Amino acid sequence: MPLATIGDETNFDEVKAAVFASLGLQAVNSGLYDGVWADSAGRKTIAVHSPINGAKLADVAVAGEGDYERLIGNARDAYSAWSRVPAPKRGEVVRAIGDKLREYVDSLGLLVSLEVGKTPTEGKGEVQEMIDIGDFAVGLSRQLYGVTIASERPEHRLYEQWHPYGVVGVITAFNFPCAVWSWNALIASVIGNVVIWKPSPNAALTAIATTKIVNRVLDEMGLPPLFLLAVDEGRTIGEKLSNDKRIPLLSFTGSIRTGRRVAQAVAARLGRSLLELGGNNAAIVTAAADPEIALRGVAFGALATAGQRCTTTRRLILHESIYDRFIAKLTRVYETVKVGNPLEPGVLVGPLINQYAVMAYRQAIQRAVDEGGRVLAGNRVLTLPGLEGGHYVAPALVEGMPDFEIVCEETFAPILYVLKYRELDEAIAIHNRVDQGLSSAIFSTDLREVERFLSLRGSDCGLANVNTGTAGAEIGGAFGGEKETGGGRESGSDSWKVYARRQTVTINYGESLPLAQGVRFEV
């Protein structure tokens, strides 16, 4: 059922009670779904706390090493049945899943807020993203096209077709606790795959609630379980998925350091990995920029989700002629933006996910200062009345230089490094000098500047934005980046091909056996 009115959204306990009732969550929840929900009794549990105030939300009984073989076996059995269903029929199933998710936009969105600290509008937007990708997958179910190729041999037909891989592993991060799963799972399933999800322990409840909703649809339709779940407390399930030859494709979203280990493990068994790793995204603001659009775009890009998006704007590259004016306005935004309980109206910046993120924030700013940087705003850990157990910081603006080591690293916190440039080529060189290559932006009304930024000699990122910020993306376009971001592509466009194996088919319908390239072989 959809979430009924909950009265004052700022009342944390009321929100939690209404959300848990709507989503069927308990004080202790099973974190293992392998076709049935595992009994929580006797299992090790992890506690899930809200970053808003440190309050305990619930316990989760986690999957263990001994559960893995059963998980894989059940997934493979489900694949055997699901892959025989015609793709358009699979699309009808995904349509029903999208319709069911529409009933839970409010409650599931608020659970995202409670568990990872997003504002309600961001939390609900994440659920809407799942619905949108479901709609995309429904259309895709009738468009899994293969090309027909002209054969050089007479009376031969040559074409390509695509088959599902089988069981696909998906490992997700806390910051988009259900949307990124849907990018992978709904597209992979409409192609005919079964998905095993290993979520971040920091977002276990959102994963459990989502898994309950989507599999309820499958149960009602008499279908096998297609979306399996294994919450663990660390690396156990992720390492097993990485090293298992029965997982042809493993999608991983997370840090570069962990992604490198995943890629090495999967490559060692000659499997395929889809990597969505770190971003160190920059926005160039030129002298020809619309100042209001640029200010809003930079502010949203840097502050949304408290700087905990892989697409967060982390470097601002400003033309010297507008530098002082723009910084003065941006500093006022930083000094007045409302930081606090994301459930409260008007709050734009919520908490960091945990104390380690706060520590990283402090250390990064100190390193910038040690390298010669100057703090323009922020650099404060906040203790807010009634939220003493939460993890809040003041968004920081730090003036620096492009060659600072810390500027070239990603810190998952609201820190924006401000850099100055004179010529556009210099700005693009600054932009491209980091090892990450996810999202990029330029703010300019000069067509030549824009086209230069979009040219082969411009942005080296997977995402390039003009007069809009680095953060956020629509589901119709392929999402992903280059360099140490991993090269993966998820969501729209032809990214569905990542979840399928290509097969080239040759058919000889003649009465002779001509060979290609004029080769003759007579016996």
CA distances from 213 to 1, 6, 132, 359 (A): 11, 21, 16, 36
- Characterise 491 by phi-psi region: left (phi > 0), alpha (psi -120 to 50), beta (else): left
Backbone angles phi, psi at 219, to 5 degrees: -60, -45
Q: Where do we find the tokens 């589901």?
A: 475
Any idea what DSSP says for residue 305? G
Is 147 buried (19+), middle (13-18) or exposed (0-12) by CB count in 10 A? exposed
Which candidate in 9, 122, 276, 410 is catalytic?
A: 276
**Whole-angstrom distance, CA of residue 168 vs CA of residue 170:** 7
Half-sphere exposure of residue 28: CA atoms within 13 angstroms, side-chain side: 11
The yes-or-no answer on residue 178 being catalytic is: no
Please answer whether residues 248 and 273 qualify as being in contact, where contact means their C-beta atoms are separated by less than 8 angstroms.
Answer: no
Answer for the pair 394, 364: CB distance below 8 angstroms, yes or no: no
Q: To the nearest 5 percent, what fractions of the chain are helix, strand and coil?
A: 40, 20, 40
Tell me the two tokens of residue 335: 């000094």
Interacting residues of 140 by C-beta distance below 8 A, sequence separation 6+? 91, 187, 190, 496
- Say whether 362 sits in a helix, a strand or coil: helix
In the block, which residue shows the tokens 């100057």? Answer: 374
Residue 310 is among the residues annotated as catalytic for this protein: yes
Measure the CA–CA gap between 78 and 470, rounded to whole angstroms: 39
Strand-pair category, 436-437 with 482-483: antiparallel
109: closest CA among 240, 258, 210? 210
Residue with tokens 């991993």: 486
Strands (E), 54-155: 56-61, 148-149
Query: Residues, the chain, total?
Result: 523
Point out the catalytic residue in the list 126, 129, 178, 310.
310
Catalytic site residues?
276, 310
